[in-house]
Every structure is written in C-alpha cells, then in structure tokens.
Chains A and B, each alone.
Chain A
Amino acid sequence: KAGVTQTPRYLIKTRGQQVTLSCSPISGHRSVSWYQQTPGQGLQFLFEYFSETQRNKGNFPGRFSGRQFSNSRSEMNVSTLELGDSALYLCASSLGLVGQETQYFGPGTRLLVL
C-alpha cells in the first residue's frame, strides 16, 4: 500500500498570503489528522477529520482550517500568514479515530513565511 502523501513538500510564502496544503491518506483510512511542528513548540495537534467531519480541534486560531473529501483526502488552509506559521506541517492517517488507532505520518510540508 502506498503511504501517506503530502503536497507540496516545500513552500515559501509572504506574510498576509494564504496557503493550502494537501494530504492523501493510506487507502482505506478514514481519519486524517494535522500537526504543526516547530523547534520551540514541538508537535502540536491542529485538527482531525473523520468521514468528512471535524472530530477534534487543537488550540489554534481560526486562520487554520481544514476539510476532508469523500475519498478521505484532506486539505488544510492557513489564511493571513504570519511569520510564526513557519513550520513543518505533518499529516497522519489512521483507520479509526485519533488516540485509539495507530497513526501513519506523511513526510510533511515545510512552510516558510517571509
């Protein structure tokens, strides 16, 4: 089976712009979660989608949003980018809900905001 894929792998944006990241889960997986990883804050949970519904959300501002499509592919969007949004954004998929199933991670999208 193919693993979790994320596109693009690298992005450079400027402050105020918006960005959309894409994640394709492992075939058959219905849960997709997003994490932000930075040197200072570590791995922080953004949100989880399961069967096209957001099931859980971390402590991030409303500028961070996401969605999941019927084929389980997911996108996350960050609007009005700030310098502090520079990070590695990781997507993970699992058969079931976060916390109860093994999550499989993609390689990440590295976002640099200038």
Chain B
Amino acid sequence: AQSVTQPDIHITVSEGASLELRCNYSYGATPYLFWYVQSPGQGLQLLLKYFSGDTLVQGIKGFEAEFKRSQSSFNLRKPSVHWSDAAEYFCAVGAGNNDMRFGAGTRLTVKP
C-alpha cells in the first residue's frame, strides 16, 4: 500500500520569505498526488494536483509543486509567503485501488 511522509511537523517562515514543504511517498506505480490546505476548524481545500504530464504543477494562491519520480517527492513551494498562508498543509497520495493516504501534515506559522 502507498504511504506518505511529511518530514516537517512545524515550519516557521517570515512573511515575504520563500517556502518549501516536503512530501515523500511510497508507491510502486505513478501515483496521483495532491496538496491540500486546512485552516483551523475548517475542511481541506485543494491547492494543486498531479496526475500526469508536466512535472511542475501550478495551483491556487501562488503555490506550485514539482513531482520528482527519482526522489519519490512532491514538494510544495511558494516564492513569497503571506500571513494568510498560515495553516496546516497535507500531502496526499492516491492509487488506483480506491485508496487515498494523507501525510501527517505540516503546520505553517508566518512571522510578521
């Protein structure tokens, strides 16, 4: 079965600084990859997804992610973080077997 690892439980960045959230997955074939964001007390909102094609995908709110098959990674990036980006971020891996696995999440704090 597939699995997802988000190595960083909590990250703090200054407003305006760049951001990279790491995600590593384990799956035998090319997975379906997702990044979601969750604000406190809310559901999850899709930021972006990768199914196939161009390995650099653009999402909402200025986020992008790059699929690197050789590293089994799907890291999320943003060039300049805004205070409103403070939230919890989840990487998820889907497979063709009706299975969806989420990482443990990375909590992002943005310093003024």
Partner-B contacts on A (CB < 8 A): 4, 33, 35, 42-43, 45, 48, 55-56, 88, 90, 92, 97-108, 110
Contact = CB atoms under 8 A, between A and B. Distances in A.
Contacts of A55: 98
A65 to B, nearest CB: 18
Interface of B: 32, 34, 36, 41-46, 49, 90, 94-105
B32 A42 contact: no
Contacts of B43: 4, 90, 105-108
Those 5 A-B pairs whose CB atoms lie nearest each other, nearest first:
A99-B94, A105-B43, A105-B44, A43-B102, A56-B98
B100 A103 contact: yes
- The dominant DSSP class at the A interface is strand
**Which of B34, B49, B99 is the most central at the interface, judged by chain A CB atoms within 10 Å of its CB?**
B99
B101 to A, nearest CB: 8
A42 B98 contact: no
B98 A110 contact: no
20 contacts: A33-B100, A35-B102, A42-B102, A42-B105, A43-B105, A55-B98, A56-B98, A56-B99, A97-B98, A98-B99, A99-B94, A99-B96, A99-B100, A101-B94, A102-B49, A104-B46, A105-B44, A107-B42, A107-B43, A108-B42
Contacts of B45: 105
B102 A100 contact: no
A99 B99 contact: yes
Nearest to A55: B98
Nearest to A56: B98
A98 B46 contact: no
